[in-house]
Amino acid sequence: MKAEIITMVTMKAEIITIGDEILLGQVIDTNSAWLGQLLDSLNIAVHQIVSISDNKDAILHALTEAAKRSDLILVTGGLGPTKDDVTKEAIASFFQTTLVRDEEVLRHVKSIFEKFGNGRAMPDMNYGQADVLACCDVLFNDVGTAPGMWIERDGKCFAFLPGVPFEMKFLMEKRVVPRLADYRAKVSIYHAHVVTMGIGESYLADLIGDIESELPAHIHLAYLPKLGTVRLRLTAMGHDEADVKKETDGFARQIAVRVEDYLVAEKDVTIEEAVVERFTKDNIRLAVAESCTGGLLAGSITAVPGASAMFDCGIVAYHNRIKQQVLGVDEEVLASFGAVSEQTVIQMAEGVKSLGGADYGIATSGIAGPSGGTPDKPVGTVWIAVSGPHETVTQLFHFRNDRQVNIERSMAQALNMLWKLYKKDNSK
């Protein structure tokens, strides 16, 4: 049975983040990412995310536009006590209402200052944190001083939340989510994922073109490329959750079979997460020797929870003396071929594998830039070796980008080579 085609419209959500610090790049907007994931889990579709300056005109414009296109508007930031936080005055103007002092909130704010103020009197400006819109339902903030506000107007729901992430998360989970139960459409939104490595987006699209053309209108395929990988996400909507899942998983399985040579996982994971999971399951150990990637490759793997079950060691061997004394690279090899050479990375990979007692060893050596290049070995020249139980494979790359991109491409290709060799060994 195929999932039912949806004709009803699900609740449309919009996220507005307020703060010059976000626009200037001084603070990364993690709130929107967290909110997007939470709303998706609630079958509420986010259609727009906007970051704006903390000034009245920008706030009024953003709210006016959001109200035209969205049913749920979540606003974070701008609720602090300082003069640069003008959000309350702006939204009071938007809703044509006034600010009133909430005595319960004021008592809470005072209690926090009594507890953590080291005997100092609460500054006058903090009294303003108890000021809320006269037309709102107060979202009481147990973990901070800035309350949230909930307003329903003309069929739209507005939630105004503090920008401090842990306060925003508390209010969303404890105060806002329970209110959304009555507004959420009774439909299921389901995602299936296929993660590939070693094939470009356009080649992948061509490879699975016929499967994509067979997708019904209620299943959408998205391509999410990243250096070295392409994640495929199938998103479906339907009234019957079991049917939606079964049909979507069926198409995902077809794609996975078609892209078997490039398949990493049939779920939404990073390459590092897939490596950690599979190596742990197969009781395989990994060691890494890095020059041009400076420990970032090892760091990306060990950042995955549970990596200790499969990761033995990582050596950052920048100086040739370390390559010799720790990894066992021959002095003659370095003298004859240089640090950035096939011969050197082979000995680095085999050396770190032996040093760690691992099953696989990775080595990177290159000229990341911006300086250090030569006519024979320009900036972006990188040698990578992966040593496994049966053989050592190598590859030369000429990235020729800036330093950071060269490093990121080196990491992506190292993981790609590791995965390919692992799959080859696993097929024997």
What pLDDT was estimated at residue 279?
Answer: 98
Question: Any idea what the CATH number is for the domain that residue 223 is in?
Answer: 3.30.70.2860
Q: Enter the tokens of residue 103.
A: 């005595």
| CA separation for the pair 377, 374 (Å, rounded) | 5
Residue 401 and residue 341 share a domain: yes
Could you give phi then psi for residue 125, rounded to 5 degrees? -65, -25
Residue 309 and residue 248 share a domain: no
Distance of CA 310 to the CA centre of its chain: 23
Residue 196 and residue 154 share a domain: no
Domain-embedded: residue 414: yes
- Nearest one of 194, 181, 170 to 43, comparing CA atoms: 181
pLDDT, averaged per 10 consecutive residues of the chain (428 residues), comes to 42 93 92 94 90 94 96 92 80 96 91 76 83 95 93 95 95 94 74 95 96 95 92 91 94 98 95 97 98 98 98 97 97 97 98 97 96 93 98 95 92 97 91
Helix ranges (DSSP H) in 151-200: 165-171, 177-180
Orientation of helix 56-69 relative to helix 87-94, angle to 10°: 50
Query: Three-class SS of residue 343?
Result: helix
Residue 241 and residue 151 share a domain: no
- Nearest one of 276, 42, 237 to 34, comparing CA atoms: 42
Residue 164 and residue 17 share a domain: yes
Question: Any idea what the CATH number is for the domain that residue 33 is in?
Answer: 3.40.980.10
Domain-embedded: residue 173: yes
What pLDDT was estimated at residue 45?
Answer: 87
Question: Any idea what the CATH number is for the domain that residue 277 is in?
Answer: 3.90.950.20
| CA separation for the pair 20, 85 (Å, rounded) | 10
Domain-embedded: residue 151: yes
Q: Enter the tokens of residue 145.
A: 């001083």
- Integer-rounded Cα radius of gyration of the chain: 27
| CA separation for the pair 347, 349 (Å, rounded) | 6
pTM of the model: 0.74
Examine the fold and report which residue of 265, 285, 313 is the final residue of a domain before the chain moves on.
265
The DSSP code for 15 is: E
Q: Are 345 and 364 in contact (CB under 8 A)?
A: yes
Residue 321 and residue 396 share a domain: yes
Domain-embedded: residue 123: yes
Q: Please name the helix (run of DSSP H) or strand (run of DSSP E) that holds residue 403, with its range, or none.
A: helix 403-426
Residue 295 and residue 258 share a domain: no
Residue 407 and residue 335 share a domain: yes
| CA separation for the pair 148, 248 (Å, rounded) | 38
| CA separation for the pair 301, 260 (Å, rounded) | 23
What pLDDT was estimated at residue 285?
Answer: 98
Residue 321 and residue 254 share a domain: no
Domain count, the chain: 3
| CA separation for the pair 101, 218 (Å, rounded) | 48
Examine the fold and report which residue of 211, 232, 265 is the final residue of a domain before the chain moves on.
265
Domain-embedded: residue 3: no
Residue 297 and residue 230 share a domain: no
| CA separation for the pair 22, 29 (Å, rounded) | 6
Residue 289 and residue 254 share a domain: no
Beta bridge partners of 286: 311, 360
Domain-embedded: residue 43: yes
Distances (CA, A) of 199 to 67, 126, 271: 42, 56, 14
Domain-embedded: residue 396: yes
Domain-embedded: residue 61: yes
For the stretch 101-108, contacts whose Cβ atoms lie closer than 8 Å and that sit 24 or more positions apart, written own/partner, are 101/127, 101/130, 101/131, 101/132, 102/130, 102/131, 102/132, 102/138, 102/147, 103/130, 104/138, 104/140, 105/129, 105/130, 105/132, 105/138, 105/140, 105/147, 106/130, 108/140, 108/141, 108/145
Could you give phi then psi for residue 372, rounded to 5 degrees? 100, -10
> Domain range holding 382?
271-426
Helix ranges (DSSP H) in 197-341: 201-207, 209-213, 241-258, 271-281, 296-302, 320-325, 331-337
N-term to C-term CA, the chain? 39
Q: How many CA atoms lie within 13 A of 117 on its CB side?
A: 13
Residue 376 and residue 304 share a domain: yes
Q: Enter the tokens of residue 222.
A: 């998205």
What pLDDT was estimated at residue 414?
Answer: 98
Examine the fold and report which residue of 246, 265, 284 is the final residue of a domain before the chain moves on.
265
Contacts of 400 (CB under 8 A, 6+ apart): 378, 379, 380, 406
Contacts of 313 (CB under 8 A, 6+ apart): 287, 288, 352, 355, 356, 358
